[in-house]
Amino acid sequence: MWNAARFAASSLTRSTRRFSTAIPGPCIVHKRGADILHDPWFNKDTGFPLTERDRLGLRGLLPPRVISFEQQYARFMESYRSLEKNTKGQPEGVVALAKWRILNRLHDRNETLYYRVLIDNIQDFAPVIYTPTVGLVCQNYSGLFRRPRGMYFSAKDKGEMMSMIYNWPAHQVDMIVLTDGSRILGLGDLGVQGIGIPIGKLDMYVAAAGINPQRILPVMLDVGTNNQKLLEDRLYLGLRQRRLEGEEYISIVDEFMEAVHTRWPKAIVQFEDFQMKWAFETLQRYRKRFCTFNDDIQGTAGVALAGLLGAVRAQGRPLADFVKQKIVVVGAGSAGLGVLNMAVQAVARMAGNGEAAAKYHFFLIDKDGLVTKERKNLDPMAAPFAKEPGAIDGLREGASLVEVVKKVKPHVLLGLSGVGGVFSQEVLQAMRESDSAKPAIFAMSNPTMNAECTAEDAFKHAGENIVFGSGSPFENVDLGNGKVGHVNQANNMYLFPGIGLGALLAGARLISDGMLQAASECLASYITDEDIRKGILYPSIHSIRHLTVEVGAAVLRAAVAEELAEGHCDVGPKELMNMSKEETLEYVTRNMWFPVYSPLVHEK
Ligand SMILES: NC(=O)c1ccc[n+]([C@@H]2O[C@H](COP(=O)([O-])OP(=O)(O)OC[C@H]3O[C@@H](n4cnc5c(N)ncnc54)[C@H](O)[C@@H]3O)[C@@H](O)[C@H]2O)c1
Ligand SMILES: O=C(O)C[C@H](O)C(=O)O
Ligand SMILES: [Mg+2]
């Protein structure tokens, strides 16, 4: 449960250590002189003290005055704020890309300063380095490309991956985010340009989970693209061929997984933005052999379930009433089905043998309308949620969303369709007749233009008593008379960093359903009743680092309970097992990286 006193203590620690004078531990560097200035892991720009300049052969390579970390920080923020001022009134996309560029330049030059400004200004910067701007960056990647980041494994590298993996300069990698670019947010197949997503996700790992940026690895598996526009674009940087399929495809992913596992057996691999068929297939294939999870299926499910439980509390009902909630899920893809599967597990836990009941209350809609048993070529993953046609309020195969909402009067309408605006005025107005006194509307598709509806339209058409969540950020809505319609960001960023962190510090063999459930429950219980009453279902992004400690500890303890924890560095499984809850939280916090300039020590 959320502990306000601990939060106060941890934010105090954070502010006192903001520019603390305590001397951090040394950092070994194997280079000297200009090579250090050109390495963003070690570079301090004008911040190198004179003694260090002498030791590392930097004297004369920098202007003489030493500028402190605080001054560098202030100078960057000043430039950022003046860019904001100077671009006021320009088109949204232009401003967003200008902001991304200034942050990206700092990322390329000085990672310590970059991650410090990111952590301290996460509310302002997350929408720039992550969703929604990251979508625009991926769409324009070939034009924006200046320097490579991460690794690229292509279909042409078949047979070479085992040696290629050793080209990565870091000795140790803890966290890998991998995509094949086939379903980037709601933007479709962006081929190699999808690399922006692993980069953005790993930035959140550093900012929220304190994963050391020298131990992260964004990876693009380029197996071609079916995006005709990209195939014809002469500046496109990926393989100009159609996507590999079947055996050819899976053998590339197998080879990559083997290579990673050989070099870094304890690295965690997060699958991100794979098209549905491969998302499910790879999850089944690897989840028992490697420490891996699929964020779109499993991370999203945990965040959505926490929101669904919050929606029950917001109605003033006991949590056990979750089993009676009528939920319409729009989108039968990896995310929508992931949510339904986890919701069914939750109902089964709450109501004993509640699985059948849950399926009765859950309605699944895809691009062809309501999914029923009459559906031709019914996807086996969707089959458990297909309705008997006509059995419920006479609803037929392919019934439209508005028809379903009017007849079912759901407590919750949840969109993971990738289609902007499918929650039309008529659909939202139909939610006014919901059987819930406080209906919940989740427009979870990304980026902003793909959201099923805007926050403003949701409150305008569905009424002021709704609770609202969206995958991409929206401003709170002014409802007049001093009332505010609260907007929750229902995004998997609230869970994946803690899932990765907990699994890493446990040294987990694999990531089990129990660990994912612990993560979701931790997020759900983080919010106080007082906040829930105001329609707040998720914490503010300001507290994401604090939340992630809690989620990480919950995941770690679940791994220990299931005997999946093999230990991390010099902390063995027995020690993990003997840690109290408080000690686990302390252990997690202690192992989180925080950006400060460490004294650099040269070693040949
Ligand atoms: N907020 C989050 O944390 C989060 C997490 C994961 C995915 N998402 C978003 O969810 C969306 C879908 O992701 P996915 O991986 O499930 O994609 P997917 O391609 O696997 O599935 C999309 C589904 O939407 C259905 N669909 C398409 N048009 C529709 C329409 N007009 N009406 C109803 N259904 C329609 C398709 O039939 C398909 O079942 C994306 O926009 C993604 O950005 C958000
Ligand atoms: O990337 C995000 O913002 C969430 C999610 O993983 C998505 O694919 O939309
Ligand atoms: Mg994703």
Establish whether 379 is an annotated binding residue.
no
Determine if ligand 1 sits within 6 Å of the CB of residue 471. yes
Render pLDDT for 37-46 as a digit per residue (tens, 0 to 9).
999 999 999 9
* Domains of the chain from N-terminus onward: 72-294 (3.40.50.10380), 299-490 (3.40.50.720), 494-591 (no CATH)
**For residue 13, is pLDDT > 50?**
no
Q: Which helix (H) or strand (E) holds 251?
A: helix 246-263
Average the pLDDT over 366-371 and give the result: 98
pLDDT band, very low/low/confident/very high, at 1 (cuts 50, 70, 90): very low
Check whether 357 has a pLDDT greater than 70: no
pLDDT digits (tens, 9 = 90+) for 534-580: 999 999 999 999 999 999 999 999 999 999 999 999 999 999 999 99
Nearest-atom index, ligand 1, CA of 382: 39
Residue 223 has pLDDT above 50, yes or no: yes
- For the segment 407-424, the average pLDDT, to the nearest whole number, is 98
The residue whose CB lies within 8 Å of the most ligand 2 atoms, and thus the one to mutate among 183, 472, 491, 541, is 491
pLDDT in the model for residue 267? 98
pLDDT level of residue 6 (50, 70, 90 thresholds): very low
Please provide the DSSP assignment of 497-526 as one string: HHHHHHHHHHTBSS--HHHHHHHHHHHHHH
Whole-number Å distance between alpha carbons of 7 and 574: 28
Residue 444 CA to ligand 1 centre (angstroms): 9
pLDDT tens digits along 152-175: 999 999 999 999 999 999 999 999
* DSSP code per residue over 153-217: EEGGGTTTHHHHGGGSS-S---EEEEE-SSS-TTS---GGGGGHHHHHHHHHHHHHH---GGGEE
Instruction: Write the pLDDT tens digit of every residue in 128-159.
Output: 999 999 999 999 999 999 999 999 999 999 99
- Note the pTM of the prediction, 2 decimals: 0.96
User: Which residues neighbour 328 within 8 Å (Cβ) at sequence distance 6 or greater?
Assistant: 363, 365, 401, 404, 405, 408, 410, 412, 413, 414
Best residue for ligand 1 mutational test, from 182, 305, 444, 449 (most atoms within 8 Å of Cβ): 444
- Mean of pLDDT values over 59-65: 97
Closest atom of ligand 1 relative to the 296 alpha carbon: 6
What is the separation of C-alpha 596 from the centre of its chain, rounded to a whole number of angstroms? Answer: 25
- What atom in ligand 1 is closest to the CA of residue 450? 41
Residue 16 has pLDDT above 60, yes or no: no
- Which of 189, 199, 202, 273 to probe ligand 2 with, by most ligand atoms within 8 A of CB? 273
Q: What pLDDT does 8 receive?
A: 32
User: For residue 352, what pLDDT is reported?
Assistant: 77
Nearest-CA residue for atom 11 of ligand 1: 418
β pairing state of 483-485 and 477-480:
antiparallel
Q: For residue range 468-492, what is the model confidence (pLDDT) as tens digits?
A: 999 999 999 999 999 999 999 999 9
Ligand 1 centroid distance, CA of 334 (Å): 7
Positions annotated as catalytic residues are: 130, 201
* CB-facing half-sphere around the CA of 8: CA atoms within 13 A: 3
pLDDT of residue 24: 79
Using a 6 Å cutoff on CB, does residue 329 contact ligand 1?
Answer: no
Element (H, E) at 79: helix 69-86
CB atoms within 10 A of CB 563: 10
User: Model confidence at 604, in pLDDT bands (50, 70, 90)?
Assistant: confident
Average pLDDT over residues 452-461: 98
In the predicted structure, residue 22 carries a pLDDT above the cut 90: no
pLDDT in tens, 65-96: 999 999 999 999 999 999 999 999 999 999 99
Report CA(13)–ligand 3 centroid distance (Å). 32
Q: How much distance in Å is there from the Cα of 249 to the middle of ligand 2?
A: 23
In this prediction, residue 387 carries a pLDDT of 94
Average pLDDT, the chain: 94
| Partner residues linked to 459 by β-bridges | none
Decide if pLDDT at 11 tops 70. no
Check residue 535 and give its pLDDT: 96
- The reply to whether ligand 1 has any atom less than 6 angstroms from the CB of 292 is no
- Kindly identify the ligand whose nearest atom is closest to the C-alpha of 300: 1
pLDDT tens digits, one per residue of 290-341: 999 999 999 999 999 999 999 999 999 999 999 999 999 999 999 999 999 9
Q: How confident is the model at residue 392 (pLDDT cuts 50, 70, 90)?
A: confident
pLDDT band at 370 (very low <50, low <70, confident <90, very high): very high
Dist. CA 162 → ligand 3 center (Å):
27
366 lines ligand 2 (CB under 6 A): no
pLDDT at residue 353, as a whole number: 67
Q: Please report the pLDDT score of residue 14 as a whole number.
A: 39
Band (pLDDT 50/70/90 cuts) for residue 3 is very low
Q: Binding residue per annotation — 491?
A: yes
Of 346-355, 358-367, 374-383, least confident by mean pLDDT is: 346-355
